[in-house]
Structure 1
Amino acid sequence: MVPTQRLPASLTPLDTALSALLRGLEPVQPVALPLADALRCIAAEMPGLPAQPPHDVAATDGWALRANDLVGASSYSPLPLAASPAWVEAGDAMPAACDCVLDADLVEVTGPIAQVLAEAIPGQGVRRKGQDIAEGSFVAEAGRRVVPRNLMLARAAEIERLKVRRPRLHVVNIPGATATTNLVAESARSAGAEVISREAGARDVGSIVAAFEDAACDLLITIGGSGVGRTDAAVSALAARGELIAHGIALQPGRTAAVGRLGATPVIVLPGAPDQAFAAWWALALPVLDRLTGRRPRKALSLPLSRKIASLVGIAEFVLLERQRDAWMPLAVGELSLDAIARAQAFLVVPGGSEGFAAGMAIDAYMLRE
């Protein structure tokens, strides 16, 4: 049997492949999701919040008073009050003209007579208007990932749904690549995507094409079958069903990846091997998801290299890094072990036109964990 797929004589530069994927892509429309479902999604624009608390409230149980009226009060020199003070409990609105709350044992009340045994300062025992949530602030910043502390603010403001951008990612698993599929699906959910997985019936072109049917999504990913082996047919299936833009990317690892489109939907064919798929996922798929979610640019951390990174000219090389003593220690360059993938804290891609970076040079790396 003749292999169904072949790599071209020259590989497509990574930047060229990525530009083709991103061309014409816009962020998906926002959807309002329950708070639990919005977690890890990318926040869309949302209105400013009202102040919380909406007015000054008691932060503790006690006597509501005016601090300026208590100057000089002490246990040795109790200060008599002209009128009995108001008792408030935590969460109660502060009475007019009162700006502090004294503990119960600091005010002696005997019949109609009350005397104070301590001074206070304005705001003591009080939660000021807007102290928890400033008026006009946001549950989450648009373009940033929704994290648990954002949900805390939403619940405090009695908001039940958040507007987020959650693209639909359809994953087609070619038989034999299940472990890699799980890695990609979990990474996609962490990036804020809604993931739908389907397994092709077999590794042949017809079975893979059939798995493309009814794949209404914003990004289609296939995993496995991208090489030139006798049972590899994912790229041929993409060419038969849609548009194959490039097969063979100048990226190491990940050179057998392919990109294309089904109509207007971008398609990325990832290799089945975990290390190959991992690099291609971060270099090709994550930028597409970031565009679809409207995510703001990922933050890079600049640190010096603890040792030199040497790279081949003409191939973009994926580098895994670990932070050691305020420097980046390269764990793997071009070939990634599963141990390196598990330990890595950040990555960078050495451009195809670069020979690498010298030891001590400050480089920008992107965090693998947020």
Structure 2
Amino acid sequence: MISSQRLPSSLTPLDVALAALLRDLAPVPPIGLPLTEALGCIAADMSPLKPHPPHDVAAADGWAMRANDLVGASSYSPLPLTIPPVWVEAGDAMPETCDCVLDSDSVDRTGPLVQVLAEAIPGQGVRRAGADIAGGTRVVEAGRRVLPRDLLIARAAGLTGLSVRRPRVGVVNIPAAGAAVTAQLIAESARKAGADVTCIEAVGRDADSIARAIDTKGCDLLLTIGGSGVGRSDATVSALAQRGEVIAHGIALQPGRTTAVARIEKTPVIALQGAPDQAFAAWWTLALPVLDLLSGRRPRKSFNLPLQRKIASGVGIAEIALLRRKQGAWVTLAVGDLSLDAIARAEAWLAVPGGAEGFAAGEPVDGYMLRD
């Protein structure tokens, strides 16, 4: 029989636990991925692009001409041409001596001579070289997430792949009622953050079964779901101790107090709780910063707005607050106790520091956006 575990008398501060996880970590090496697989990953440094289009092209169907040759042409004073103009389709390269495109109605071809019925200005109906993509630019800046619009630029430039950083994340689910839902939530969140995710199911809740499921080979970050509490069947921390070093069990974080952090050789491990709200709180505050460092991601943007109402918090433990914007201020949806409805409706979150009693109404605070 597994004896019940106890949390230490003092919880490890959130910033101390995070610093231990980040110690000696560095961004993973970049890899080349096909465009569709690179979507959502964090871009690595890439070579600058060549101008696109590479030369002047017609922006519309019409007659390619030289603007200076058309001065004074109008329907009242048609300009006869001794040499017939060249017809171009949209996207065709412009003839070398031409700098404008007239539509078909501006040229009369009914008589013995072709006549021009309108003037034009240089560049009319023409897309200049480099107008879509300036030479020397990059598809996406290093450290930024690859978005669909970046793939548009890449395809226009003729690229078939991009250089990205994609950390490998292992998610080990400890079987229990409801834990599979949480494991799916964390796995989907990791994929959205640009990770390559592998999911594993432990065959049982005992320490030996969990230890056998914990495998950091081919992993840059390992996350376990469930079994980190202090109940008689919670054995994840014991399993981690068999495989590596448990840095802390019991984090000064609400929700998420029984989260544990560990290392197996050089791989950081975070034991998340099986309840979705507690797992997600530890995901935001511990796992996501580790994943961002491994990805080489630029610092996440926060949005500064005043609080509509006061947030009260107990001293000594960091509490997660969920926020939503309303009339230029943050409205607090939940603090410490996070319902699934509040998680679904929230636009941002913040951690009330353990050394503070909260924030006053009207005080500006930085909310970290949940929807990017």
Question: Match for residue 87 of structure 1?
Answer: 87
Amino acid at match of 1:119: E
- Give unpaired runs (5+ residues) of structure 2: none
Does 1:321 find its partner at 2:323?
yes
For residues 134-153 of structure 1, the aligned pairs below 5 Å read 134-153=134-153
2:25 equivalent in structure 1: 25
Query: 1:48 matched to which residue of 2?
Result: 48
Matches for 1:1-370 after TM superposition, within 5 Å: 3-110=3-110, 113-176=113-176, 177-213=179-215, 215-370=217-372
Q: State the distance in 2 between where 1:272 and 1:310 align.
A: 27
User: Contact 1:305 / 1:361 at 8 angstroms: preserved in 2?
Assistant: yes
Give the secondary-structure state (helix, strand or coil) at the position aligned to 1:69: helix
Q: Is the 2:216–2:267 Cα contact (8 Å) retained in structure 1?
A: no
Residue 3 of structure 1 contacts residue 228 of structure 1 at CA under 8 Å; is this kept in 2?
no
- 1: CA distance, partners of 2:6 / 2:82: 95
CA distance change for structure 1 residues 85 and 112 in 2, over 3 Å: closer, same or farther? farther
**8 Å CA contact 1:33, 1:163 repeated in 2:** yes
1:84 CA displacement: 2.1
Deviation at 1:5, TM superposition (A): 2.1
Q: 1:112 Cα shift? A: 6.1
Tell me which amino acid in the other structure corresponds to 1:221: L
SS in 1 for 2:190: helix
Shift of 1:190: 0.3
Shift of 1:215: 3.8
CA distance in 1, matches of 2:72, 2:4: 93
The gaps in structure 1 that reach 5 residues or longer are none
Q: Give me the TM-score of the superposition, normalised by structure 2.
A: 0.97
Alignment deviations for residues 4-37 of structure 1 (CA, whole Å, 9 cap, x no partner)? 4210000000000000000000000001011111
In 2, Cα distance between equivalents of 1:73 and 1:81: 11
Rounded to whole Å, the distance in 1 between the matches of 2:108 and 2:242 is: 88
Worse-superposed segment, 358-367 or 206-215: 206-215
The amino acid that maps onto 2:350 is L
Code of the residue aligned with 1:5 in structure 2: it is Q
Residue range with higher mean Cα deviation, 202-211 or 356-365: 356-365
Measure how far apart 1:74 and its partner are: 1.6
Identity %: 70
By how many angstroms is 1:362 displaced? 1.2
Q: Which amino acid aligns with 1:288?
A: V
Determine the C-alpha separation between the residues in 2 that align with 1:3 and 1:320. Answer: 36
Q: Distance in 2 between matches of 1:275 and 1:55?
A: 55
**Which residue identity is paired with 2:99?**
D
**1:309, 1:356 within 8 Å by CA — same for their partners in 2?**
yes
CA-based RMSD: 1.2
Question: Aligned partners of 1:310, 1:196: CA distance in 2, in Å?
Answer: 39
Alpha-carbon contact 2:216-2:264 (below 8 Å) kept? no
Tell me by how many angstroms 1:80 deviates. Answer: 2.1
Q: Partners in 2 of 1:128 and 1:309 — Cα distance?
A: 56
- Amino acid across the alignment from 1:232: D
Aligned equivalents of 2:217, 2:278: Cα separation in 1: 24
- Where 2:277 maps in the other structure, the secondary structure is helix
8 Å CA contact 1:5, 1:235 repeated in 2: no
Name the CA distance, whole Å, in 2 between partners of 1:231 and 1:215: 27
SS in 1 for 2:109: strand
Q: One-letter code of the match for 2:260?
A: A
Map Cα deviations across residues 200-244 of structure 1 (whole Å, 9 max, x no partner): 110000000000136420000000001000100001111111000
Paired residue secondary structure (1:77): coil
Ranges of 4+ aligned residues in structure 1 off by more than 3 Å: 1-4
Contact 2:2-2:233 within 8 A present in 1 as well: no
